[in-house]
Amino acid sequence: MNWRKKSKNDWGRLGLISNSWQKKTLSDFIYFKNGKKRPSITGDIPVYGGNGILDYTSESNLENAVIIGRVGAYAGSVYYESKKLWVSDNAIAAKAKDSSNIAFIYYLLKNLRLSERQIGTGQPLLTQNILNNIEVYLPSLEEQCKIAEILTTLDARIFENKKINHHLVELARSFWQERFSSKQPNGKLGDIIELFDSKRVPLSANQREKMDKTYPYYGATSLMDYVDDYLFDGTYLLLGEDGTVIDKEGYPILQYVWGKFWVNNHAHIMVGKNGFTVESLFVLLKNTCVSSIVTGAVQLKINQANLKSVDVYIPQKEELDNFNSTIEPIFDQLRNLYDEIKSLTTLRDALLPKLMSGEISVAD
């Protein structure tokens, strides 16, 4: 498969091929439907809302559909599920009419930046009417399938790498459990961590909007943005300080990060000491329930003092050195796969608008 960039003579209006790309409204080839309140019965069918999978149920109201956030902060977000699913009432489901390619429709909707088409200020809203009347240029079904094939191939590799990384973390976690889960605590977390919270600097959305997107900007639970400068350079562990600080089992929300990056003031920043690497500290905390140190009813919080007071088992130097050697290659592979994910994501995001505008043609 070769990609050919079109000359200006090849392009139709808006850089599209006029003889094969037809002007359409979304309602011409997509059927939109609001979701319904999710059932309470648990199962293995994903329940999608505006922020992705919310839960699992035993019932489905759709199959092979695109999900679009309808209301609130996630209005305009776009997801795709090829199997059975339930679309909740804070989302809109999109299905292909006639023979249009549903995977192509997913990428087309992602490229439309639907979050910029919201109405309302207090409670942003995206309606079926807004979606139905959006005008696009649509390629032939053959070209839809080829475009979708390129993008889904990239996304499949990204997904596979993420799945492998999840298993790598679980493998390292199981090694700790096998060796040390039967041991009684003999120290405090404060004995083995060094905190760098004083170096944190929050940046507002307005500040970040004016910056070049070069270095990762992390919040309490995830990568939030990219900025034009960095505060840290190296390998660190981030632990959510306020907001979402624990998972449903009571374990801390952790981010294993490396390279140059910026962190806001909602995550603790730490490395290990007294024989603990960042990696062994990460695995220890992955096996440590911290629900007892969380404070706050509305806004959950883990403060420094409570964090340092957590009871932990600290292995002897020889057994800790041995454990560090065991997990080192696991984290080497994890970082390599993550870097590949980043490269593939960059490639996909660069290709998406060019393929969707017809600027790049997909030819056999």
pLDDT one-digit tens code per residue, 22-67: 999 999 999 999 999 888 888 999 999 988 998 899 989 899 999 9
CATH superfamily, with its number, for domain 22-138: DNA methylase specificity domains (3.90.220.20)
In the numeric block, the tokens 């319904």 are attached to 36
Q: What is the pLDDT of residue 19?
A: 62
What are the backbone dihedrals phi and psi of residue 86, each rounded to the nearest 5 degrees, phi first?
Answer: -120, 130
Domain boundaries, the chain: 22-138, 184-314
Is 184-314 in the same CATH topology as 22-138? yes
Instruction: Give the mean pLDDT of 265-284.
Output: 97
At residue 16, does pLDDT exceed 70?
A: no
Average pLDDT, the chain: 91
Burial of 282 (0-12, 13-18, 19+ CB in 10 A): buried
Instruction: Give the mean pLDDT of 268-291.
Output: 97
Indicate the pTM of the whole model: 0.84
Name residues whose C-beta falls within 8 Å of residue 316's C-beta, 6 or more positions apart in sequence. Answer: none
Helix (H) or strand (E) holding 170: helix 141-180
| pLDDT band, very low/low/confident/very high, at 364 (cuts 50, 70, 90) | low
Q: Which two tokens stand for residue 277?
A: 């690497």
Contact 257, 238 (CB under 8 A): yes
- CA terminus-to-terminus distance, the chain: 5
| pLDDT band, very low/low/confident/very high, at 317 (cuts 50, 70, 90) | very high
What pLDDT, in 10s, does the model give residues 101-157?
999 999 999 999 998 888 877 788 899 999 999 999 999 999 999 999 999 999 999
Contact 89, 36 (CB under 8 A): yes
Query: How far are the Cα atoms of 188, 224, 226, 333 from residue 210, in angstroms, in the given order?
Result: 43, 15, 11, 35
Contact 229, 215 (CB under 8 A): yes
What are the backbone dihedrals phi and psi of residue 330, each rounded to the nearest 5 degrees, phi first?
Answer: -65, -45
Q: Which two tokens stand for residue 61?
A: 């109201």
| pLDDT band, very low/low/confident/very high, at 15 (cuts 50, 70, 90) | very low
Q: What is the pLDDT of residue 3?
A: 44
Of 363, 362, 357, 364, residue with least CA distance to 12: 357
Contact 156, 364 (CB under 8 A): no
Task: Name the percent of the chain lying above pLDDT 90.
Answer: 80
Q: What is the pLDDT of residue 14?
A: 45
Give the torsion sign (CA, 328, 333, 337, 340): positive
Of 37, 114, 130, 118, residue with least CA distance to 78: 114
Of 266, 272, 69, 60, residue with least CA distance to 187: 272
Instruction: Give the mean pLDDT of 325-342.
Output: 97
What pLDDT, in 10s, does the model give residues 167-213?
999 999 999 999 999 999 999 999 999 999 999 999 998 999 899 99
What are the backbone dihedrals phi and psi of residue 69, each rounded to the nearest 5 degrees, phi first?
Answer: -60, 135
The region of weakest confidence among 260-274, 328-342, 349-363 is 349-363
Q: What is the pLDDT of residue 358?
A: 87
**184-314 CATH pick, 3.20.20.70, 2.40.40.20, 3.90.220.20, 2.102.10.10:** 3.90.220.20
Of 251, 303, 259, residue with least CA distance to 278: 259
State the number of CA atoms in the 13 A half-sphere of 12 facing the CB: 14
At residue 288, does pLDDT exceed 50?
A: yes
Contact 284, 186 (CB under 8 A): no
At residue 327, does pLDDT exceed 80?
A: yes
Instruction: Give the mean pLDDT of 226-241.
Output: 96
Q: What is the pLDDT of residue 9?
A: 37
Name residues whose C-beta falls within 8 Å of residue 83's C-beta, 6 or more positions apart in sequence. Answer: 63, 64
Query: How far are the Cα atoms of 244, 274, 293 from residue 296, in angstroms, in the given order?
Result: 12, 32, 10
